[in-house]
């Protein structure tokens, strides 16, 4: 390597590292944004139907140890709204006016639990001891059950615990038992009825109780959809509301992915069961990266330094997204150059493996490969069939391209009609790439035979998957985006690879018979 | 292992490109070697022997009368892309036969092609299917040379050709490529032809390789390669050195065919010759290349260079 070349490479390698260290050490910039991988958007919609309402109140979600509420944005006429941290009111609401809020909640992992919020009660607790009138028979059954479960001189906590144990150990779940008396006689009840009986027993034992309504954020169903109501309970012990979930056998905490939205279900029951209101809850995972880019970007942008001139977080979001994806390509090119020039892996075309990687990123590693294999087989059959027509090369290639698009269309329609839950992954440019690959594939097959063709195909796919594996690390992606100067580092590495005059790994295998003989 | 490679002077692809091709081959000279029509124009004009180009087909419109153009060449012909590489797209037609009003073009392997197939192949060549750059190309209909009888025992169909690596105008290493049944009569190592290294001083075969594996006998004819001595050897080397005078690529491969009547003829020139020649010769390229670089080179034309070459080899 020439001296000036070595200097350029040195600068290209050292400068980005120095800049990263400068940002982290001297500007006290966080090395990477904090991960936020379980963020959901919850949307509450409440629409008065038919008649105008003097007052509509919605409680706002409050952070718990297992989740935190990030942002709450209310929906509805701002002029009629009053809001505090606990709830939001609208006065004089006309019918058909959409009210509600959107909240972003972040579920915390077990090791990342927050402090338990103050659950001390405020205001009148007597109403949590009251319950609606019951039949004489039911009253008697409840009293008998209660006297069998607890002693009158038990502490509140003991009483509740004994009732809780009875439910978790003896009451059976039977979803079609919704009648109170039948449930008390049979010891079987639906989930909701069990909550009601638990609440009644606790209240009868002199301990305030309330049913909590919320939603269960199922990670398997992350796309936006209407959610079913889910329930838990709270009991007031020693002036503090303690969460209880008799179905998950939890005393003192909620189920992991349960988000309480209405702490006093009965108070707001009108909204859910009254035909004067239309009430809906939607939830979906937030479609952002797994990192809190926004917050991190704001933090970086506030740093007063010349290095902020190329801070990409200041660009419009659309441009940011483009660079977010683009910055992987030079890294992929480094891998590709290494694999081709130092390992000696053969590929179809030069950048085909990288383009295939982008396709696999969209379609998924396994599905992408199945799809790729299917397209290769179909494309090759088409090509062999077209060979018999003796068509000119360009129209023939164009027919192949069109047939490929028709194949994709068939796939999309079949998926739509027969597999509605399947996420259709089609991207425009890989179609063209695949057409070219098939053309190259079939020519290599005819000219060089199966061995060379499959070797090249394997080489193309292996580089493609290697890049996919590297691209999989989202922390790396955000690192490249946060420190654009690393692209200079890649140029330095590429010069080093480009200057490599040594043997390729494949040549060692190729020439080894020669060595053996010479020895 | 790497130490052995260096000791034996094996040239790898990276070093070939960075140390020999890039500094010695001017990009401006590439079109002359990458387009066989231009190669023919340049060398033939200067009196170098080359097979005759019967026709050059450059447009799809010329394909209409291809049958009429080709039927006269009853002794066969070769179809090749002007800008092809690694022998891709070359079809050798041995003879033309007529049966029940149908014309068949018979390949070296015995496979019969009808006019439509020939037209389709030529059309594919013109469309750029085999072209180095992928751009549109020209199809050359070339005289089919006859193999020298010396090769009869050592090849299966097709015509053997001789590759000479010429460095700064001096021959460095040579091999003869012998077609096999598996190579479909083509003298292409990628397609399973045999490569035999040749001793530069004597023209005697000094080693053989097929599919990167060393062999001693031809896979089809079973004859031993070490008995083969290439006739007109010095003429062949002189012709290869002469190419440099008109096509000044510092590092190139010159492919030569030995015709029994016309003698050595240049088939094509390659600006990026492959490295299998080392396996065929059981010798690395680096030491001979370095030896030429170390010599005081005065020759300004091929005759002077060949005189120097002979002196270095102890032939004079």
Per-residue tokens: A27 = 């500007």
A288: confidence class by pLDDT, cuts 50, 70, 90? very low
Q: What per-residue confidence (pLDDT) applies to A398?
A: 79
Nearest residue of chain B to residue A450 (CA atoms): B191
SS3 for A40?
strand
Once rounded to an integer, what is the mean pLDDT over residues A268-292? 75
Q: What is the DSSP letter of A149?
A: H
Nearest residue of chain A to residue B121 (CA atoms): A390
Compute the C-alpha angle A35/A38/A42, nearest 5°: 130
Is there a contact between B190 and A448 if contact means CB atoms under 8 Å apart? yes
A423: confidence class by pLDDT, cuts 50, 70, 90? low
Q: What is the DSSP string of A274-327?
A: -TTEEEEEEEEE--S-SB-HHHHHHHHHTS-SGGGGG-GGGS-HHHHHHHHHHT
A448 interaction partners in chain B (CB closer than 8 Å): 190-191
| Rounded CA separation A150/A159 (Å) | 6
Q: Give the A:B interface size as CB pairs under 8 Å.
A: 82
Tell me, yes or no, if B64 comes closer than 8 A to chain A by beta carbon: no
Q: What per-residue confidence (pLDDT) applies to A419?
A: 72
Tell me, yes or no, if B22 comes closer than 8 A to chain A by beta carbon: no
Once rounded to an integer, what is the mean pLDDT over residues A49-57? 85
Tell me, yes or no, if B128 comes closer than 8 A to chain A by beta carbon: yes
Structure confidence by residue, pLDDT tens digits, A23-46: 888 887 877 766 555 788 888 888
Determine how β-strand B205-210 pairs with β-strand B213-215.
antiparallel
| Rounded CA separation B250/A149 (Å) | 101
Question: Could you tell me which of B29, B48, B270 has the C-alpha nearest to residue B165?
Answer: B270
| Rounded CA separation A419/A421 (Å) | 6
Tell me, yes or no, if B19 comes closer than 8 A to chain A by beta carbon: yes
Q: What per-residue confidence (pLDDT) applies to A289?
A: 45
Is there a contact between A514 and B213 if contact means CB atoms under 8 Å apart? no
Q: What per-residue confidence (pLDDT) applies to A425?
A: 61
Q: Check residues A464 and A423 and name the one with the higher pLDDT.
A: A464
Question: Could you tell me which of A319, A315, A443, A171 has the C-alpha nearest to residue B86?
Answer: A443
Question: Could you tell me which of A5, A12, A2, A3 has the C-alpha nearest to residue A493?
Answer: A12
Q: Which of A514, A515, A517, A519 to mutate to test the interface with B (most CBs of B within 10 A)?
A: A514
Per-residue tokens: A383 = 């090509």
- In this complex, which of B60, B190, B279 lies closest to A511 when CB atoms are compared? B279
The residues, ordered by sequence, that sit 6+ positions from A374 with a Cβ below 8 Å of its Cβ are none
Q: What per-residue confidence (pLDDT) applies to A221?
A: 63
Question: Could you tell me which of A241, A240, A171 has the C-alpha nearest to residue A201?
Answer: A171
Q: What per-residue confidence (pLDDT) applies to A401?
A: 77
Is there a contact between B12 and A499 if contact means CB atoms under 8 Å apart? no
A64: confidence class by pLDDT, cuts 50, 70, 90? confident
The HSE-up count of residue A62 (CA atoms within 13 Å, CB side) is 15
Q: What is the DSSP string of A217-282?
A: --TT--SSEEPPPEEEEEEEETTEEEEEETTTTEESS--TTEEEEES-GGGGHHHHH-TTEEEEEE
Q: What per-residue confidence (pLDDT) applies to A515?
A: 67
- In this complex, which of A501, A508, A513 lies closest to B18 when CB atoms are compared? A501
Q: What per-residue confidence (pLDDT) applies to A516?
A: 64
Once rounded to an integer, what is the mean pLDDT over residues A311-334? 85
A405: confidence class by pLDDT, cuts 50, 70, 90? confident
Q: Which of B3, B9, B13 to mutate to test the interface with A (most CBs of A within 10 A)?
A: B13
Once rounded to an integer, what is the mean pLDDT over residues A254-273? 85
SS3 for A493?
helix
Structure confidence by residue, pLDDT tens digits, A65-84: 888 888 888 888 888 888 88
Compute the C-alpha angle A121/A127/A128, nearest 5°: 60
Tell me, yes or no, if B74 comes closer than 8 A to chain A by beta carbon: no
Structure confidence by residue, pLDDT tens digits, A152-207: 888 888 899 999 999 999 888 888 888 888 988 898 998 889 999 999 999 999 99
Residues in chain B: 316
- Nearest chain A CA: its distance from B56 CA (Å): 18
> What value of ipTM does the predicted structure carry?
0.79
B88 interaction partners in chain A (CB closer than 8 Å): 443, 447
Q: What per-residue confidence (pLDDT) applies to A114?
A: 59
B1 interaction partners in chain A (CB closer than 8 Å): 508, 512, 515
Is there a contact between A501 and B129 if contact means CB atoms under 8 Å apart? no
Q: Is the pLDDT of residue A111 over 70?
A: no
Q: Are A207 and A236 in contact (CB under 8 A)?
A: yes
Tell me, yes or no, if B210 comes closer than 8 A to chain A by beta carbon: no
Question: Could you tell me which of B268, B250, B267 has the C-alpha nearest to residue B259?
Answer: B267
B4 interaction partners in chain A (CB closer than 8 Å): 515, 518-519
| Rounded CA separation A151/A112 (Å) | 40
SS3 for B293?
helix
In this predicted structure, which of A113-127, A505-519, B237-251 has the lowest mean pLDDT? A113-127
Per-residue tokens: A283 = 């939830």
Q: Is the pLDDT of residue A50 over 90?
A: no
Give chain A's end-to-end CA distance (angstroms, integer): 32
Is there a contact between A447 and B88 if contact means CB atoms under 8 Å apart? yes
Residue ranges in chain B modelled with pLDDT below 50: none
What percent of chain A is predicted at pLDDT more than 90? 22
Nearest residue of chain A to residue B126 (CA atoms): A393
B18 interaction partners in chain A (CB closer than 8 Å): 499, 501
Tell me, yes or no, if B88 comes closer than 8 A to chain A by beta carbon: yes
- Nearest chain B CA: its distance from A435 CA (Å): 14
What percent of chain A is predicted at pLDDT more than 70? 88
The residues, ordered by sequence, that sit 6+ positions from B48 with a Cβ below 8 Å of its Cβ are B239, B242, B243, B246, B266
Q: What per-residue confidence (pLDDT) applies to A287?
A: 47
């Amino acid at each position: 390597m020439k001296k000036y070349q070595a200097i350029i490479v040195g600068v290209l390698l050292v400068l980005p590292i120095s800049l990263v260290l400068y940002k982290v050490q001297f500007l006290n910039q966080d090395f990477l944004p904090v991960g936020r991988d379980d963020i959901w958007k919850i949307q509450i919609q409440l629409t008065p139907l038919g008649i105008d309402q003097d007052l509509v109140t919605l409680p706002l979600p409050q952070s718990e140890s297992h989740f935190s509420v990030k942002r709450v944005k209310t929906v509805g006429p701002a002029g009629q709204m009053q809001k505090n941290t606990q709830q939001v009111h609208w006065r004089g609401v006309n019918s058909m006016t959409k009210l509600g809020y959107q909240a972003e909640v972040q579920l915390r992992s077990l090791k990342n639990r927050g402090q338990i919020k103050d659950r001390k009660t405020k205001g009148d607790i007597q109403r949590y001891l009251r319950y609606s009138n019951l039949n004489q028979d039911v009253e008697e059954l409840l009293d008998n059950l209660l006297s069998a479960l607890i002693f009158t001189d038990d502490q509140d906590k003991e009483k509740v615990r004994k009732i809780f144990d009875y439910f978790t150990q003896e009451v059976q779940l039977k979803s079609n038992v919704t009648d109170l008396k039948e449930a008390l006689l049979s010891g079987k009840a639906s989930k909701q009825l069990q909550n009601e009986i638990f609440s009644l027993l606790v209240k009868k034992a002199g301990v305030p109780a309330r049913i909590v309504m919320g939603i269960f954020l199922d990670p398997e169903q992350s796309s936006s959809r209407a959610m079913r109501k889910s329930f838990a309970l709270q009991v007031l012990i020693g002036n503090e509301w303690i969460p209880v979930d008799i179905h998950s056998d939890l005393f003192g905490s909620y189920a992991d992915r349960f988000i309480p939205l209405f702490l006093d279900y009965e108070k707001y029951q009108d909204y859910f069961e009254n035909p004067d209101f239309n009430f809906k809850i939607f939830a979906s995972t937030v479609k952002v990266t797994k990192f809190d880019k926004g917050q991190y970007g704001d933090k970086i942008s506030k740093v007063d330094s010349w290095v902020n001139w190329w801070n990409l977080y200041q660009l419009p979001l659309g441009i940011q997204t483009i660079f977010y994806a683009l910055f992987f390509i030079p890294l992929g090119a480094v891998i590709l150059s290494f694999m081709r020039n130092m390992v000696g892996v053969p590929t179809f075309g030069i950048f085909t493996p990288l383009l295939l990687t982008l396709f696999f990123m969209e379609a998924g590693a396994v599905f992408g490969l199945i799809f790729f294999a299917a397209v290769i087989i179909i494309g090759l059959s088409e090509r062999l069939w077209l060979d018999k027509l003796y068509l000119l090369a360009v129209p023939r290639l164009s027919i192949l391209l069109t047939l490929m698009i028709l194949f994709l269309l068939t796939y999309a329609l079949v998926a739509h009609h027969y597999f509605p839950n399947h996420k259709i992954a089609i991207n425009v440019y890989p179609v063209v790439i695949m057409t070219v690959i098939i053309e190259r594939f079939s020519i290599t097959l005819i000219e060089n035979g199966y061995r060379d063709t499959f070797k090249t195909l394997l080489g193309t796919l292996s580089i493609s998957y290697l890049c996919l594996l590297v691209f999989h690390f989202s922390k790396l992606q955000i690192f490249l985006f946060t420190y654009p100067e690393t692209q200079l580092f890649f140029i330095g590495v590429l010069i080093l690879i480009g200057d490599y005059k040594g043997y390729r790994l494949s040549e060692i295998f190729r020439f080894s018979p020669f060595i053996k003989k010479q020895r | 292992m790497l130490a052995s490679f260096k000791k034996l002077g094996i040239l790898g692809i990276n070093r070939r490109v960075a140390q020999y091709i890039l500094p010695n081959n001017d990009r401006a000279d590439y079109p002359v070697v990458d387009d066989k029509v231009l190669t023919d124009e340049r060398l033939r004009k200067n009196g170098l022997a080359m097979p005759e180009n019967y026709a050059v087909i450059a447009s799809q419109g010329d394909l209409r009368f291809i049958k009429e153009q080709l039927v006269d060449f009853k002794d066969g012909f070769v179809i090749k892309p002007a800008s092809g590489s690694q022998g891709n797209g070359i079809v050798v037609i041995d003879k033309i036969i007529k049966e029940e009003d149908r014309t068949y073009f018979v390949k070296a392997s015995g496979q019969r092609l009808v006019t439509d197939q020939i037209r389709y192949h030529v059309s594919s060549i013109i469309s750029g299917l085999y072209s180095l750059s992928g751009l549109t190309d020209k199809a050359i209909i070339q005289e089919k040379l006859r193999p020298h009888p010396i090769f009869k025992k050592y090849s299966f169909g097709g015509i053997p050709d001789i590759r000479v690596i010429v460095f700064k105008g001096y021959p460095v290493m040579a091999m003869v490529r012998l077609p096999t049944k598996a190579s479909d009569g083509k003298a292409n190592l990628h397609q399973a032809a045999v490569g035999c290294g040749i001793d530069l001083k004597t023209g005697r075969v000094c080693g053989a390789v097929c599919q990167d594996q060393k062999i001693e006998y031809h896979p089809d004819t079973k004859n031993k390669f070490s008995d083969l001595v290439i006739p007109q050897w010095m003429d062949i080397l002189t012709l290869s050195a002469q190419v440099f005078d008109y096509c000044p690529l510092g590092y190139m491969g010159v492919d030569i065919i030995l015709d029994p009547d016309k003698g050595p003829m240049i088939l094509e020139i390659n600006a990026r010759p492959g490295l299998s020649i080392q396996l065929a010769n059981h010798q690395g390229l680096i030491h001979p290349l370095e030896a030429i670089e170390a010599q005081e080179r005065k020759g300004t034309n091929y005759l002077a260079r060949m005189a120097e070459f002979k002196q270095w080899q102890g032939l004079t």
